[in-house]
Every structure is written in C-alpha cells, then in structure tokens.
A and B are shown apart, each in its own frame.
Chain A
Amino acid sequence: MDIKPARKYRGNKLSASAEFAIHLIVGAFAIACIVPFIFIIVIAFSSAESLRTIGYSFFPAEVTITSFRAAFDMGDTLVRSFFVSVFVTVVGTFLSLLITILYSYGLYRKDYKLRHFFAFFVFFTMVFGGGLVPTVIVIRNLLNLGNSFGALIVPSLFLPFHVIIMRTFFVTSVPTSLIESAHIDGSGEFRTLFSIVIPLAKPGIATVGLLTAIGFWNDWQLALLFIRDRRLFPLQYLLMEMQQNTEFLRRNLTMIGSASGINLADLPGEGLRMALAVIIVLPIACAYPFFQRFIISGLTVGAIKE
C-alpha cells in the first residue's frame, strides 16, 4: 500500500486553468442569453439599405432611427395597445395580489378550521383541470367576457403557484405569536392582516407582485383566445399579429405614410417590427437589473423552504 504524502492544504480553491474554463463555459451561456436582444436592437437601428445589402448583421452598413420613427408614426395603434397593456398589467396585478394575499393568509392561519378544505380546493387545480376548451367556453358563454378587458384580466387573476410562494412568506416572516397578541389586544381579522401581516411580508408581496405584473405584461395567449377587436390588442399580441400578418402593417402605413413623410418603398418592414419588439422589451430590460434580485431571493425562499 503506497501512502502518498498528504497534499499541502492550500485552501479549497480551484486551479487557475479550471477557473478559466468555468468562466468560459458559464460566460458563454450568459452572453448567449442576451445576445439575441442586442441583435434585434442593432437590426432595429439598421437602415433599409443595409438590410437589403448585407441582411441582418451585428455590424450594419448604416445606422438610422427610421424604424423607430415608423413605429411612433403608427400613432393610435401603438398608443392604444400600449394603454391596453399598461391598464391590464396595473389592474390585473392589483386585483391578483389582493385575492392571492387574502387566500394565502387563510391557509397560513393554523387555527383556521377550513384550512385543509381550501388548501385542497386550490392545489387540486394544479394536477387536474377542465382543459382549454371548457375554460374558453366558460369565459365566453358563461361570463360573457369575449372581446373585453375582462377577458385579458380575469382568467389569470389567481395562480396556485403564487399562493404557495405567498403562504411560505407568511410562514417564514410572520410569527404566530404576533397574531395571537394582536387578537388579545382586540384587533379584528382584517385589521390584523392589513396592519400587521402585510407590512411584515412585504418582500413576498413584492416577489409575487413582480411575477404577476410580468405575466400580465407578457401575455398574448388570452388575446389570441378572446380578443377580435383591434382596439383591445395588448402590445404582445399586436407584435405577434404583425409578425404572422405583415400586411396589417403595410395597410396602416399606407394610410399615414404620406402624412409622416415616410416613403413606403424604402420602409424597413422588418426593421419596424424589430423596433417594436425592442420597444416592448425595453420596460422589462430597464427594470430588470433592479427587480431580479428580489425575484431570485423570493423564488428561492418560496420554492425551497417549506
């Protein structure tokens, strides 16, 4: 049996070459995650001439803002869709948070007698459901929400996953003794929730609120299912429609083209759509560095600890 001399302990560090390899692999993937976004920004700033000659390229022959001017010249269509998206996001997030907080609070209260029933009531929907068609029929024919703001908000107001995160936040950040002493001091259930529990669970509410807001902002599926009226298209669906139906855009620009002084012939159709995609992602991309920490910490607390 050969006994190797114990390696001198030099701290638990990686060798320089291994560390370099790791940076190469992880760094490459990390960059790949944002390169497409940077790419469409570059395309949106490329001139029509540049697209015609060298196609999409990270190094366009000529840089212009024509595409963005064209996007803003769409005027009403863009502004209205922007308004629809903002309205749906703000109202939807507020209502969704309210419903989720109220429901999760009941599940968090160990002394609430119907807790087990309501827990089953919500979590069973995670494993079984009516599926797409009956849900669509209920929304269209029973609630009569077709072609309305309601159809863009109501169907995604309540998500079991968010209930799980919220309840976990209550459990980890609000001690039961606090609730008890509030009751001894004569605080009613609603007052306990709004003036004691909610202030303590702010990080959890922020996490769920951000996830909900992004869900509403990014939604296109509800519009695909329920909205036929162009005036109610959210931005995401407008973008999707344009991609699958470029003619729509040409029609709009024929109408306003002369007024805006843009010549239809040298209009970068692809450039315009890329510009719109950039405009839609921009709010998220700008806010992202600030809110991502919140969501990461929220998700890791909410998803892991139980």
Chain B
Amino acid sequence: MTKFITKHKKTFAITLMMLPGAIWLLVLRYIPMGGLVIAFQDYRPFPQNPTFLNNILNSRFVGFDNFRFIFATDRAWNMIRNTLAYNAVFIVLTTILSIALAVCLSEIGSKFLAKTYQTLMFFPFFISWVVASYFVFAFLDPTFGVLSHMRNWYLDPAGWPVILTISHLWKSLGFSCIIYLAAITGIDQGLYEAAAIDGASKWRQVWAITIPSIKPMIIMLFIMAVGRIFNADFGLFWNIPMNMGPLQNVTEVFDTYVFRVMQAPIAGAIGMATAAGFFQNIIGFVCILGANFIVRRVDRENAMF
C-alpha cells in the first residue's frame, strides 16, 4: 500500500483535493438520484425508526400510480402549460432585448455613460426575489400601491403574465446583456472601419458585422435556454405573486407545483411530488441532450459535450 502511494503520489495528492467536492456531490446530488425510487412508491415515514433507508425500504411500491394520479388532474396540465408558455416568452424576449441593449451600449461614445448604464442594469441581478417582491408590492399594494386604482392585483389573475414577464426581464436582462456585450467588444474594430469607408451605415454594420459575429453565441445561449424550458425560476413564481391562491391558475409552474404538492397535508404527497420532479428531470434531460445534438449539427465547436 505504501509503495502504491509513493508510486502514485501526485495522483493521490490531487485525488485528496477532489474528495471534499466529490463527497458533497455523492451525498447531495447522486444519493438523491437514487432517491428517485420514491416516485414509484407510496412513501411514508417508517414509524418505528424513520431513517432515510428505513423509510424507503419500508414504503410500498405502487408502479406508475403517482404519475397517473398527477396527470389525471387539470392542475398538472395547467402548470405544464404555464411553464412552457412563460419560458417561451422569456427566451424570445430576453434574446432579442439583451442583444438590442448590448448593441446600443457598444455604440455609446461616452465610456463613462456606457459604464454607468451597465452598472445600473446589472444591479437587479444581485437583488433576491424576496426583496424584488417588495418592489413589485410597492406598485401593486391594494391599499397604498401606485397602481392600486386599476384593480386588486393580488386577487385578479389578469395582468400577472405581464407582471411576471416584466419582473423576469428586469432581473435578468442586465446579466445576458453583459455576456453579449463582451462578445461584441471582442469583434475586430477594423471590420467596422472598413465597412464605414465603403459607405455602410451603422444600421447596416449591425446586421452585416455585429449579428453574424455573435451568431454562434446567440445560438448557443438560445438552445441552452430551450434545453431548460421545463425548469422555472422558483423564486420568481413563488415570491412575486406572494403565494396568493386566486392567482395560482396563471402563476403555478413546475417548480412551485412540486413544492406545493410536497407540502400538501395528504397521504402520498411525497411520492407524487417526487414523481412530478422526476418527470420534469427526465424530460429536461432529453431536452438538453436534444439541444446539444442540434448544436453539434449546426456548429460542432460550440457543442457542450
């Protein structure tokens, strides 16, 4: 053994460094994958000694009952529709608007102003959804809110698709804009100079130089976002509508649904919530593989794996 260690001293030392992270991954990522069997169980805590293994080993297997039960409800189809619709709108708007903003920012002559705008735009990225929900509340509060004269926002589902979309864009545009801006800054300035000498207008330069240059990145980010189309931002959909019951029809998405089912005080809730999460993960996994497959076909260099 000692001989083995001296021989592989380097590998051994580095493996030692990997261990904390590897153990964390094993316990908090890989063991839960094994916990997915709960999706096929009528999961109940084992009364005598409710440890992790006991609970799973002593719960009854029910096959696909949990899945059948979930998909028999309108609520499940409704939240899937919401998740897909919100994400589709988010992806399209984020892509278009952040590119537009990045192009505009890159054209601003004053470096000081450009930096200032960028700094302000990035600020929401660092604000938690809890605090953001206070920001929204300041406008929609039924008694004091600026927009309270229009309707009682927290009881009326109309308008929430727009509110949630604005909230999402407000928080995320700064970030994606910075990524695109970095790509635009990397474009060879000589191309623009040459185009200008040939008489190309700014507008034409954007379409003939900027957009083609950052196209691989646009496609990459777009397809990666599509790969995550079944994943919703829990914080956004949980905090901004303040968990209000009357709004659930338009604010319930996959992640909030799984959480609500898990918390539901009904028998078999844990099994059903796991099943819903399992379905989300499998279909998300297929989407990501599919997205990556498409990237490979379009542009081999940008494929993730």
Contacts and interface: CB of A to CB of B under 8 A. Distances in A.
Interface of A: 4, 6-7, 9, 11-14, 18-19, 22-23, 25-27, 29-34, 36-37, 39-40, 43, 51, 55-57, 98-100, 102-103, 105-106, 109, 111-114, 118, 121-123, 125, 127-139, 141-143, 154-155, 157-158, 163, 188-190, 193, 214, 218-221, 236-237, 239-240, 243-244, 270, 273-274, 277, 280-281, 284-285, 288-289, 292, 295-296, 299-300, 303-304
A34 B132 CA distance: 11
Contacts of A240: 130, 133, 239
Contact of B135 (A39, A131, A292): A39
Interface size class of B (residues with CB under 8 A): 35 or more
Interface string B137-164: 1110101111010000000000000000
B122 A292 contact: yes
B265 interface: no
Contact of A56 (B146, B178, B243): B146
Contacts of A284: 126-127
Given A122-B21, A133-B258, 18 more contacts: A26-B105, A33-B124, A40-B135, A99-B21, A103-B18, A112-B10, A128-B33, A130-B34, A131-B258, A131-B281, A133-B270, A134-B31, A134-B274, A134-B277, A137-B35, A138-B52, A239-B134, A304-B179
Contact of A130 (B11, B35, B136, B196): B35
29 contacts: A11-B196, A19-B107, A26-B108, A33-B121, A33-B123, A36-B139, A37-B123, A43-B138, A55-B141, A103-B17, A112-B14, A114-B15, A114-B18, A127-B284, A131-B258, A131-B274, A132-B273, A133-B35, A135-B35, A137-B35, A158-B21, A158-B25, A193-B17, A239-B131, A270-B141, A281-B127, A281-B131, A292-B119, A299-B178
A154 B28 contact: yes
B2 interface: no
Nearest to A51: B144
Given A18-B202, A132-B273, A243-B242, A139 B28 contact: yes
A240 B220 CA distance: 36
Interface stretch (B74-82, B87-95, B109-117): B109-117
A12 B193 contact: yes
Contact of B122 (A4, A51, A141, A296): A296
B190 to A, nearest CB: 11
A188 B289 CA distance: 40
B42 interface: no
A86 B167 CA distance: 28
Nearest to B203: A18
A55 B119 contact: no
A121 B27 CA distance: 12
B127 A137 contact: no
B183 A29 contact: no
> What 4 A-B pairs are tightest by C-beta distance, nearest first?
A130-B32, A134-B35, A131-B277, A36-B135
A129 B17 contact: no
Contacts of B222: none
Interface in B197-212: 197, 199, 202, 205
B22 A31 contact: no
